[in-house]
Structure 1
Amino acid sequence: MSNKEKVAFLGPKGTYSHQAALQQFPDDTKYELIPVTTIPTCFENLLYDDNISYCIVPLENSTNGQVVFTYDLIRDVLKQDQVEEENLKNDDKYQNRINPPITIVGEQYVKIDHCLVVADEEIASKHDTNKYVNLYSHPQVWGQVTNYLNTTLKGKYQNRIDCKSTSEAMIKCKEDAANGIQSLAIGSITGSKMNDCCVIEKGINDLKGNTTRFLTFSKKNRLLEIPVNPEDASKDNNMTLLTFTTLKDGPGSLVEVLNIFQRYNINMTSISSRPIGVTGKWQYIFYVEYEFDHKLPWKEEILSEIDSSCLTWAMWGVFPRDNGYYI
C-alpha cells in the first residue's frame, strides 16, 4: 500500500487544474495526484474519503471572475451534518462561530495560455484549407478567446461543444479523428502533449497574462505545515478567508462588519457574496479575504467583535500568499 498523501484535482490529467496541483505538490514521492470529474467531487472526496488528504480547486479567473461552483461549495460545506456535530463540541468563547471541517492551506496561480490544437500533424498540415466539424473546450474558455473565435476561426467549424475540461476537449478531438471527423480543441500546451495532439497556434486568449487562481484545501488533521487558525499564526505574508452572514438585513449591517477591518487597519484584498438559498427569506453569505497580521489582537479583540457583529461566521485558516500573485 502506498504511503503517499492523495490529492484530488479536477481532471483529467493535462488540465490547468492538473498544472496547479503539480505546482502545489511537486514531489511525487510524497503525493499522489488523483483526477476527479467535477469540482463538487473534489470537495466530496476530501470530506468523506479518508484516503484523500487534500483537494485543489479553481476559485477565480482574472478575465472571467469567480468560479461560482467553488464559492457555492464553500458555502454548502457549512451546512454539512458533521459541522453541526463538531460545533456541539465547540468550547471556544465565540457564540456565532462555525468551525468548518476543512481548511485552506495554500493557493496557486496558473497562467492561462490557450492553444488551438488538432488531433495530429496530418490534419495540421491542411489547416489553412480545412473545414472542421466540431470545436471543443471547457465552457469558461469561450469568454477568454472571444476575439479569436470571431476573427481567425469565424466560419472554420460547424459546432461549438462544451466539455468538462480542456483535456477532455482534446480527447474528443482525437476520437473524432479516429472516426474520420476533423475537429478542433482549445486547451493548454501541457494538455496537448499529454493527449498527443498537435498545436496549430499558441497564445490565442484575448488578454495576455490571463491567470486562474486555485485554492488548496485540507482535512484539519493534515496540513502543509500551515497553522489552522489565525490566532495561532506567526508568519508574515499570510492570507485568511472569512465567510459570514449579517445580523440583520437593514442598512449598515454589512458596513458594521467591514468597519472592524478599518479600525484595525486590516487590508482586505477582496469581498464577494453569494445567495444562501434559505426558504422564505433572501439572504447572502459574504466572503472577505484579507492579509493576516499576527501582531494584531485577534483572539482578545478582533474575533470577539466579529462574533458580536455576525449572525454566523467561519474562519477558513491561514495560508501563505503565493509568489504567483505578484507576477
Structure 2
Amino acid sequence: MQKEQVAFLGPKGTYSHQAALQQFPDESKYDFKPVSTIPECFENLLYDSKISYCIVPLENSTNGQVVFTYDLIRDVFKSGRGGESNELLASSKYKNRKIPPITIVGEQYVKIEHCLMTANKEIAAEHDSNEYVNLYSHPQVWGQVTEYLQEKLKGKFLNRIDCKSTSEAMIKCKEDAENGIKSLAIGSITGSKINNCVVIDQGINDQKGNTTRFLTFSKKNRNMEIPVNVEDAEKEGNITLLTFTTLRDGPGSLVDVLNIFQKHNINMTSISSRPIGVSGNWQYIFYVEYEYDHKLPWKEEILSEIDARCLTWAMWGVFQRNNDYYN
C-alpha cells in the first residue's frame, strides 16, 4: 500500500514534526516531508499531487497568531473559487461564497518544553565542570529561556549562535563534538531523540504551559458544502472555521454577521482579523471559529444569512476538537 505524504515545517525533530507525528502516529501509513517554510507547506499541498496533507502552526498560547499562516489562509481565500456546483449543492445558491481548494481536517496541540542538550554522554557527564564553546538554538528560543540562561548557564559558554531550526542547532552541536569542541543546544525532546543528543536538563523555558496549536489541511472533500464526511459531522465537539469580508466598511457591518451566531445560539471560540490587501482601500478578512452543531438549519437558513451579510465568505471544513484543547 502506498503511503500518504504529509508536508510539515522541517527539519525533522522540530515541534512541527512532533505535531505531524501526533496527527498521524502510524508511520507505516504516512511519509513525512519536511519543507523549509510555512508557505512551502501550503504550496506542496496545493500543487504537488503526491502530498495529501500539510500541518502548519496557527497560534501560540504566549505569542499569539502565527501571522504567516493566517495570511496564507487569506491568500487562498482571495483566490478561492465561487459559483461552482457539487453533489450536495449548487454553489450559485450562495452568490458570495468561495470554495477553498483545501480543507481543515484536524488540530494538534504541542507543549513547547525546551531542553538543554549536548552531543554525547561523555560531555553530559561532566556538565557541571564543562566550559562550552557554543550554545545553539533558533532565535525565537532565546526570549523563552531568559531566566535559565542567566541563572544556570551564565559564564558557561562563549558564543550564542542562531540557527534556522532547533534541529539544526543539534546537528551543529554534534559536528562540534566530532571536532573536539564541547557545545550545547536547546530544542525539543523529540529532536534530541531523532538527532541522538543527550538531554542535560528538561523544561527549561521560563513560562510553563506554553503551547502551540497546529492545523492539519487536506485537499480531500474540497467541493463539499460542509467539507467532512457525514459520520464525523454528526459527532459532538466539532469545530469549523469561517472566513469572510463584510459588505461595507462602517458601523455595524461586522455585528451584522456576528448576530447570526447569537440568533442561532452558536458558540464562537475565537475571532481574528488580518488586512486583506486590497489596493487603495483598507479592508479586513475575519476568521471566526465556532462549534458546529449538525442539528442546526445550516443549508436552509444559516448559510443563506451568512451569504446575505458578507461580501465574500468560505467554510474550511468541520474537524474534531482535540482533547488537549481542554488541558
Deviation at 1:133, TM superposition (A): 3.8
Deviation at 1:182, TM superposition (A): 3.4
Q: Is the 8 Å Cα contact of residues 105 and 218 (structure 1) preserved in structure 2?
A: yes
1:89 correspondence with 2:80: no
Percent of residue pairs bearing the same amino acid type: 77
Calculate the TM-score normalised by the size of structure 1. 0.90
Where structure 1 has 5 or more consecutive residues not aligned to the other structure, the ranges are none
Structure 1 SS opposite 2:45? helix
Q: Distance in 1 between matches of 2:181 and 2:282?
A: 49
C-alpha separation in 2, matches of 1:177 and 1:252: 63
| Equivalent residue, structure 1, for 2:74 | 75
> Compared with structure 1, are the counterparts of its residues 212 and 219 closer, same or farther at alpha carbon in structure 2 (3 Å cutoff)?
same
Provide the aligned length of Structure 1 versus Structure 2: 319
Relative distance call for 1:132 and 1:76 in structure 2 (3 A) is: farther
Q: Secondary structure at the match of 1:27?
A: coil
In the aligned structure 2, how far is the partner of 1:161 from the partner of 1:325?
Answer: 34
Structure 2 CA distance for aligned equivalents of residues 76 and 158 of structure 1: 44
The answer (yes or no) to whether the contact 2:274–2:285 under 8 Å persists in 1 is yes
- Give me the CA root mean square deviation: 2.3
Question: Could you say which residue in structure 2 is the equivalent of 1:43?
Answer: 42
**Given that residues 230 and 294 in structure 1 are in contact (C-alpha distance below 8 angstroms), is that contact kept between their aligned partners in structure 2?**
no
8 Å CA contact 1:63, 1:144 repeated in 2: no
Work out the CA distance in 1 between the residues paired with 2:228 and 2:307. Answer: 15
The aligned residue for residue 192 of structure 1 is: 192
Alignment of 1:133-148 (within 5 A): 133-148=133-148
Q: Which amino acid aligns with 2:84?
A: K
Cα distance in 1 between the residues matched to 2:137 and 2:222: 35
CA distance in structure 2 between the aligned counterparts of 1:287 and 1:210, rounded to whole angstroms:
23
Query: Which SS does the other structure have where 1:55 is aligned?
Result: strand
Structure 1 runs of 4+ aligned residues shifted over 6 Å read none
Q: Is the 8 A contact 1:64 1:140 kept in 2?
A: no
User: Matches of residues 134-213 of structure 1 in structure 2 within 5 Å?
Assistant: 134-213=134-213
Match of 1:244?
244
1:66 matches 2:61: no
TM-score, structure 2 normalization: 0.90
SS of the aligned residue for 1:87 comes to coil
Structure 2 unmatched runs, 5+: none
Contact 1:229 1:315 (C-alpha < 8 Å) held by counterparts: no
List aligned pairs for 1:90-129, cutoff 5 A: 90=85, 91-92=90-91, 93-129=93-129
In structure 2, the CA distance between the partners of 1:265 and 1:143, relative to structure 1 (3 Å rule), is: farther
Q: CA deviation at 1:87?
A: 2.4
Q: Structure 1 residue 221: deviation in Å?
A: 4.0
